[in-house]
Amino acid sequence: MFKIKVNEQFDFQVRSEKDQTLVNDQPMDLDIYSISKSTFHILHENRSYNVELVTLDKNQKTCSVRVNKNIYTMSLTDQFDELLHKLGMDNLNSLKITELKAPMPGLVLKVLVKEGEEVSKGSNLLILEAMKMENIIKAPTDGVIKSIKVNPSDKVEKNQVMIVFN
């Protein structure tokens, strides 16, 4: 079962049951023809609809769809999202990471960023030598460097704050 919210205004419940699609518990007779990966032609109650997927964000479970000449924004939730919401665990991805801590004791060889610099998740931040190996420490999230708490040749302990993000 899926819940679809269209334009933050209309709610629909969609589920499949015995080779039939039900929308708000009403059977939906659709003839869908795929033209391309993101374009479809749909017949419903003798009416023709040209549907194109305009944008898709799989992480946020949102998309924009052009139906004929109108664009609709949709958000989708499934039974797992509903369960996480009931358990109060639906906002875990929105937790903001504000500090980068040393994953192990070591020696800072090089700092690759500056204060005020904008970084994206996975960007190289610094090089930490531990057990005679150089480790590139990467950004855990998108953000802006607020302050750098270490300098080259500083020794750090495990969980010591090295960089603070805005």
**Per-residue pLDDT tens for 31-74?**
999 999 999 999 999 999 999 999 998 878 899 999 999 999 99
Say yes or no: 27 and 46 in one domain: yes
Higher pLDDT, 159 or 94: 159
- Across the chain, mean pLDDT equals 91
> For residues 96 and 132, which has the higher predicted lDDT (pLDDT)?
132
84, 26: one domain = yes
CA distance 14 to 22: 6
Same domain, 50 and 125: no
Domain boundary among 29, 63, 93: 93
> How is residue 113 annotated by DSSP?
-
Please compute the mean of the pLDDT values over residues 101-123 and round it to a whole number.
95
Which range marks the domain in which residue 146 is found? 99-165
d(CA 91, CA 94): 5
Query: Distance of CA 22 to CAs 3, 88, 139, Å?
Result: 12, 29, 44
Which pLDDT value is given to residue 79?
86
In the chain, the number of structural domains is 2
Q: What are phi and psi of 94, to 5 degrees?
A: -90, 0
Of 44, 43, 42, which Cα lies nearest the Cα of 53? 42
Q: DSSP H helical segments within 15-135, as ranges?
A: 79-86
Do 2 and 61 form a contact (C-beta atoms < 8 A)? no
The residues, ordered by sequence, that sit 6+ positions from 18 with a Cβ below 8 Å of its Cβ are: none
The pTM of this model reads 0.51
